[in-house]
Amino acid sequence: MGGFADQHIAALDDAQIAAFEALLDAPDQDVYAWITNAAPAPDAFDTDTLRLIKSYRYFARMAAPS
């Protein structure tokens, strides 16, 4: 999530930053499962911020050299 923060934190609004901070406080293995779609995120964490992180992860993987 550090790469996402480096590139996007300045553009997040207060609610998105609060959602990001909540993700940082959640157990790492849970957040990883939510980001990778291995498990659904609970409603409290299923935010536009989580969707932004998922999108960032997807596009970062697509841009990575093979």
Distance CA 64, CA 21 (A): 27
First-residue to last-residue Cα distance in the chain: 21
Domain boundaries of the chain, sorted by first residue: 2-63
Give, for all 66 residues of the chain, the pLDDT tens digit.
888 999 999 999 999 999 999 999 999 999 999 999 999 999 999 999 999 999 987 666 666 666
**DSSP code, position 43:** T
The CA-based angle 52-54-21, given to 5 degrees, is: 60
Residue 7 to residues 39, 42, 44, Cα–Cα distance (Å): 26, 26, 24
| pTM metric for this prediction | 0.83
